[in-house]
A and B are shown apart, each in its own frame.
Chain A
Amino acid sequence: MDGAMNTPGIFSPRLLIDISYFLTACLFILGLKRMSSPVTARSGIVWAGAGMVVATLVSFLYPGMSNYELIIAAIVVGSIVAWWSGKKVAMTDMPQMIALYNGMGGGAAAAIAAVELYRAAYANVAGAPAAHSNVVMSLAVVGGIIGAISFSGSLIAWAKLQGVINKTLRFGGQKFVNGLLFLGSLAVGVIVVLHHGADPLHVSLIFGLALLFGIAMTLPIGGADMPVVISLYNALTGLAVAFEGFVLDNAAMIIAGTVVGSAGTLLTQLMAKAMNRSLANVLFSDFGSGGGATATAVTGSMKPIEASDVGVMMAFAQKVIVVPGYGMAVAQAQHKVWEMCQLLIDRGVTVKFAIHPVAGRMPGHMNVLLAEAGVPYDLISDLEEINAEFETADVALVIGANDVVNPVARTDKSSPIYGMPILNADKAKNVIVIKRGQGAGFSGIENGLFFLDNTRMLYGDGQKAVAELVNAIKAAG
């Protein structure tokens, strides 16, 4: 079909492109596979990166291409801005940055669909015969809608996590309006497919409605649920890329997009499960923003303790388990915490970190934050590995975590977090909670752990409190 550009022999541009895309697909799959173990993860992204470079370079050889200046200009500008922002972003802000980059991918997929559909629309208006079959047109429309939803939805997710949008917009009949936007976009899409592109106005309407739907769907979702939503949009972008890959007859896009689509869907389900929620629950209910929690009153009192006493307690302990939460990262205390743990390890104390699946702002985020502070990953255990060990721990040090150690989740059926798997910090011989004040946490749910007989509260700013602990352990001799 592109015979004019084919040079004699085996190295025709088309063959070179096909072989390179094949290589890229292999590198992507092997790279993702390597990324699933901490030992090989670093090399995994490098392999996938090599695949991307190969695919990008070889795409310049595509037969019949023009506008090279524009292509190069767009790549250079986009790359520089993304490189700079990616290098600069703080580890605590990683979730919204991923959302932003993901939204860009969705937008790019929608742009590919838009180019194809507008071309078809103008050709149709001019009375030219249809260039694409109805199947290809349908894939372009569906991929375009999904990409547009992922684009606008991810931008809203970014804005909410970044604090640009603080309000959670809700009104009566919202689900009805959202449904109408989505079905409207789909219906116009059907018209465009059946009429071989219809006209430019209809094409614009598809994207306009899809973009609005992405915004309207994401606005009511609370900040705590946002990681699941970001993961969902990640999967959707993959799917959109795969669909546009069908339209362009591009195997690399089909394979990479589909792999991300299915992997992302599974990842989304794993995340929702870790939060003890179903995906439908995340998308269509209001828990994430913390409505009026009506938990039963917890009896007992919070008992304060001094840093010097905690220091001595840990210095002469056999085993200390640290339970970090997002509050630790907000206070930027993770470096001090690791300094403290190194002192304990040097004294022969066994130190472990217990990470709840939803510690931090998305599953695995806390691991990244601890890794940034220099904590080796083999000291970090997840919920299933560590929960049996709390009974043998002398001290459980809870810093910046709240709901994930709340024993109410095991006992109180009226609590909104009932049934959520928690870290059994309350089973340790001594529980120390570092906390700024006496108020309830992020979700507004009273924490039963704080009132237990074996719990002591160390009040103060996370970083300052840990610095005092470091001094106390040094003084313990």
Chain B
Amino acid sequence: MTGIVALYIFMLAAFTGYEIIAKVPVILHTPLMSGSNFVHGIVLVGAMVALGGATTTLEKAIGFVGVLLAAGNAVGGYVVTERMLEMFKSSGARKKTGGGH
């Protein structure tokens, strides 16, 4: 893709991120930070490509660490976010499921 197209993508994505968060209630700040932390785990695909193209031992070693860390970011971010969000229930939902705890 050309530089100017990339710049447009950058600009539009920046506004998108801002708009998504702008109206978030404080009660969701921690899970949302955790959720956005998960989303930048997409660095995994970049690390995979970097390791996939590595030829020297040094490149392979750095690439391996990169994939390892990226997988940790993605999976760990998902697990803790899901654990937190799973617990948010309204009074109505609680009565239906019979009290939970």
Q: Which residues of A contact B (CB under 8 A)?
A: 21, 24, 28-29, 31-33, 35-39, 41-42, 44-46, 48-49, 52, 55-56, 59-60, 62, 64-68, 70-71, 73-75, 77-79, 81-83, 85-87, 89, 91, 94-95, 97-98, 100-102, 104-105, 107-109, 111-112, 114-116, 118-119, 122, 135, 230-231, 234, 237-238, 241-242, 244-246, 248-264, 266-267, 270-271, 274, 335, 338, 355, 357, 360, 362-365, 367-368, 371-374, 376-380, 382
Contact = CB atoms under 8 A, between A and B. Distances in A.
B26 A364 contact: yes
Contacts of A270: 21, 26, 29
Nearest to A40: B85
A78 B67 contact: yes
Contact of A101 (B29, B37, B93, B101): B37
Given A38-B27, A78-B75, A259-B16, A62 B33 contact: no
Interface in B5-52: 6, 9-10, 13-18, 20-52
B44 A107 contact: no
B27 A367 contact: yes
| Main secondary structure on A side of the interface with B | helix
A257 B66 contact: no
B81 to A, nearest CB: 5
Nearest to B94: A376
B29 A271 contact: yes
Given A108-B69, A362-B29, A260 B87 contact: no
Contacts of A362: 29-30, 33
B33 A74 contact: no
Bin the interface of chain B by size. Answer: 35 or more
Contacts of B51: 67, 70-71, 74, 115
A62 B49 contact: yes
Contacts of B68: 74, 77-78
Select the residue from B37, B43, B48, B77 with max chain A CB neighbours within 10 A. B43
A322 B23 CA distance: 26
Select the residue from B16, B17, B63, B74 with max chain A CB neighbours within 10 A. B17
A67 B72 contact: no
The 10 A-B residue pairs with the shortest CB-CB distance in the complex, in nearest-first order: A111-B66, A78-B71, A86-B79, A65-B52, A364-B29, A82-B76, A262-B17, A108-B70, A364-B30, A258-B13
A44 B32 CA distance: 10
Contact of A32 (B14, B39, B91): B39
A374 B94 contact: yes
Contacts of B24: 36
Contacts of B67: 70-71, 74-75, 78, 108
Given A56-B45, A116-B50, A46 B66 contact: no
Contact of A254 (B6, B22, B33, B34): B6
A60 B67 CA distance: 13
A258 B85 CA distance: 24
A246 B100 CA distance: 47
Contacts of B74: 52, 56, 79, 82
A253 B34 contact: no
A386 to B, nearest CB: 12
30 contacts: A28-B39, A45-B38, A59-B45, A60-B48, A67-B54, A74-B64, A77-B71, A78-B68, A82-B72, A83-B79, A86-B79, A86-B80, A86-B83, A101-B37, A101-B73, A102-B40, A108-B70, A118-B58, A237-B40, A237-B43, A241-B42, A248-B50, A249-B1, A256-B40, A258-B13, A259-B17, A335-B101, A357-B26, A371-B84, A379-B91
Given A36-B20, A38-B90, A108-B70, 15 more contacts: A32-B20, A35-B28, A52-B38, A74-B65, A78-B67, A79-B74, A82-B72, A86-B76, A94-B80, A108-B43, A108-B73, A234-B37, A266-B17, A374-B94, A379-B91
Nearest to A68: B52
Contacts of A77: 68, 71
Nearest to A114: B62
A82 B28 contact: no
B70 A104 contact: yes
B82 to A, nearest CB: 5
A250 to B, nearest CB: 6
A234 B36 contact: yes
A104 B72 contact: yes
Nearest to B14: A262
Nearest to B23: A36
Contact of B42 (A24, A38, A262): A24
B71 A380 contact: no
Contacts of A363: 26, 29-30
Contacts of B66: 107-108, 111-112, 114-115
B63 A70 contact: yes
A248 B13 CA distance: 18
Contacts of B31: 35, 41, 364, 368
A105 B73 contact: yes
Contacts of B82: 42, 45-46, 49
B38 to A, nearest CB: 6
